[in-house]
Amino acid sequence: MTAIVWLRRDLRLRDHPALRTALDCHEHVIPVFCLDDRLLRGRFASGPRTQFMLEALADLDAGLRDRGGALVIRRGSPEQELARLIEQSGAEEVHFTQELTPFGRKRGLRVRRALERTSAVLCAHPGLTVADDVTEIRTQQDRPYTVFSPFHRNWSELPRRPVLQAPRAVQLPAAIEAGEIPTLADLGLEQEVAEPMAGGEAEGNRRLERFLAGPVDGYRRGGQDDLGREGTSRLSAYLHFGCVSPLQIESRLAGGEGPQAFRRQLCWRDFYHHVLWAHPDNARQEHQERYRGTIDWVEDGDLLAAWQQGRTGYPLVDAGMRQLLREGWMHNRARLVVGSFLTKDLGIDWREGEAWFMRLLLDGDEANNNGNWQWIASVGTDPQPYFRRIYNQALHMERFDPAGVYVRRYVPELASVPDRWLSEPWEMPEEVQRDCGCLIGRDYPEPIVDRRAAREAAKARYRAAAD
């Protein structure tokens, strides 16, 4: 008896309900991953994220081989490739982890239709989110949630299933060729970031253990927001590709303040998956109807390029954008500051920011990215008015990077600028500029917009849209 496990964003062996169920009832199991050009070259194509994924696939393949099996790689659409594999292997069942994004759901539906023409049964499993089924979390009026806090209360009280161990043995049918994991170049993509994290379950678990061994306890007391300190888990990309199970992470958290604050953060991920599932149109348009097509966004390629390349003249914005270019990851506090700067100070459409993030982020995740971009652009589910989210990068620096550790790390031309001038270097007297070897306008850009005027323009833009 043979079953197929169709893998997507669940590239792990531990706590994998689909894999476990397939193994429990079948002698042979074919874990297959389909490299689908519709995704690889689609709207959110990304060299850095694909490279991370290829590493995660290689790690999974190694884990399966250690257990007597192998990862089967196919290039093509899953509806065709799965049907072909069923024909070749006589598989009776196809197990997969439930997806919630609009593309994931459509793809699931196409596979379901294609498999109706075969004798195999398609079986969905949990594993994407901490809670097994975030679509079942509903308000008292039996509606999906749009506000985080009550969602979080409800979510916290839900029972959890037991966390599953990794399987001991996996046996592939002899007649099935594993196929090869291609290189990034084979896929026609390029690595665009210089210092990316390595992909895979092994690395994800190492990071988890390191985080649980110390940083998690300080997570609430500054660890979460201190830009200079590596106080967060950096597990987002591992969570995005399912290299580590979100439930497995939650199950390891103790009861203190730090672990519980971290648990709440995991809930944001479940929340945004819930929101995008309930409102798939959010993927392309503002959640708030009054802002759909009504905001007079600025279209300026030079301003956008300065933001993308970290050359705005605003140190914290530039540090964040250059961290993204260097690592394919950015600290959450910096994501908020650069998001506010793009949409409010520059007045550029949040979709431009969403797309740039999706191109470079290793953790680029449609639900999380879209939800957070809509949040910072004040057009999403969050009920706060737009003027609450016009951030001042200098004030953020004073609070979250007071010694300038983060800014100096990512903007080396500001390394010798005295603390006093670091958040607003354009205010530096000329002789100080000369003394520290950083002439504004030559070594570091002048601010590309006037902050006060930009703030007023942003308010006017949103006011006009809502009228």
Which range touches ligand FAD (CB under 6 A), out of 132-140, 227-235, 309-317, 390-398? Answer: 227-235
Cβ atoms of residues 172 and 30 within 8 Å: yes
Ramachandran angles phi, psi of 251, nearest 5°: -65, -20
Q: How far is the CB of 212 from ligand FAD (least distance, A)?
A: 11
Nearer of residues 122 and 266 to ligand FAD, judged by Cβ? 266
Is 336 one of the binding residues for ligand FAD (CB under 6 A)?
A: yes
Residue 57 or residue 336: which is nearer to ligand FAD going by CB?
336
Report the residue number, 17 or 246, with the smaller CB distance to ligand FAD: 246
Report the site for ligand FAD in 367-406 (rule: CB under 6 A). 368-369, 372-373, 376
Task: Find the radius of gyration of the CA atoms of the chain.
Answer: 24
Q: Does residue 146 bind ligand FAD (CB under 6 A)?
A: no
Size of the site for ligand FAD (CB under 6 A): 27
Tell me how far, at minimum, the Cβ of 263 lies from ligand FAD, in Å. 9
Residue type, 193: V
Among 239, 276, 316, 321, binds ligand FAD (CB under 6 A): 239
CB of 246 to ligand FAD, least distance (A): 7
The answer to whether residue 234 forms part of the interface with ligand FAD (CB under 6 A) is yes
140 vs 252: CA distance, rounded Å: 31
Interface with ligand FAD, residue 363, by CB under 6 A: yes
Query: How many residues appear in the chain?
Result: 467
C-alpha to C-alpha distance for 208 and 202, rounded to whole angstroms = 10
Pick from 71, 82, 361, 422: which binds ligand FAD (CB under 6 A)? 361
Rounded Cα distance between 354 and 220, Å, is 27
| Cα separation, 263 vs 368, whole angstroms | 16
Name the segment binding ligand FAD (CB under 6 A); options: 112-120, 229-237, 253-261, 385-393: 229-237
Q: Work out whether 103 is an interface residue with ligand FAD (CB under 6 A).
A: no
β-bridge mates for residue 444, sequence order: 440
Regarding 89 and contact with ligand FAD (CB under 6 A), the answer is no
Give the C-alpha separation, 26 to 390, whole Å.
Answer: 56
Helix 350-360, helix 332-340: angle, nearest 10: 140
Which residue stretch of 45-53, 236-244, 378-386, 453-461 sits at the interface with ligand FAD (rule: CB under 6 A)?
A: 236-244
- What does the alpha-carbon distance between residue 253 and residue 217 come to, in Å, rounded to a whole number? 10
The phi, psi pair for 96, rounded to 5°, reads -150, 160
Give the three-state DSSP class for 32: strand
CB of 138 to ligand FAD, least distance (A): 20
Among 265, 285, 294, 392, binds ligand FAD (CB under 6 A): 265
Q: What are phi and psi of 444, to 5 degrees?
A: -145, 140
Q: Which of 64, 266, 417, 428 binds ligand FAD (CB under 6 A)?
A: 266
Contact between residue 25 and residue 4 where contact means Cβ atoms under 8 Å apart: no
Instruction: Please answer whether residues 321 and 306 qualify as being in contact, where contact means their C-beta atoms are separated by less than 8 angstroms.
Output: no
Q: Kind and range of the H or E element at 460?
A: helix 451-466
Beta carbon of residue 333, minimum distance to ligand FAD (angstroms, whole number):
8
* Shortest Å, Cβ 90 to ligand FAD: 39
Q: Which of residues 164-203 bind ligand FAD (CB under 6 A)?
A: none
- Paired sense of beta strands 93-97 and 72-75, if any: unpaired
From residue 270 to residue 299, what is the string marking binding to ligand FAD with x (rule CB under 6 A)?
--x---------------------------
Among 220, 244, 241, 242, smallest CA distance to 232 is for 220
Return the number of the residue (93 or 286) whose C-beta is nearest ligand FAD.
286
Could you say which residues in the range 306-335 bind ligand FAD, by CB under 6 A? 332, 335
| CA distance linking residue 368 with residue 371, whole number of Å | 5
Residue type, 90: G
Interaction site with ligand FAD (CB under 6 A): 224, 232-236, 239-240, 265-266, 268-269, 272, 332, 335-336, 339, 357, 361, 363-365, 368-369, 372-373, 376
